[in-house]
Amino acid sequence: MSVNDRVKHSLLWGAIGTLSFLVLLQGYELLADYRYDLAVKFGAALVVAVGSPALAYVADGVLR
């Protein structure tokens, strides 16, 4: 059973987007000396984790 290349690429972009968002959020918290609630972090990361691969999947079809 093979995973479609388009799906694989979109999932990898989703992982990259989610990890990048979390790194940027942590950097902002360190520089601004403001802490967000864990539920806010989790919710925003979930939105990025779902939206990023979906957008990458659609954009891959449009750009090719």
Give domain limits for the chain. Answer: 5-63
Q: How many residues can be counted in the chain?
A: 64
Q: Return the amino acid letter for 6.
A: R
Distance CA 61, CA 19 (A): 24
Segment 10-43, tens digit of pLDDT: 999 999 999 999 999 999 999 999 999 999 999 9
Distance CA 13, CA 49 (A): 9
Give the predicted TM-score (pTM) of the model.
0.83
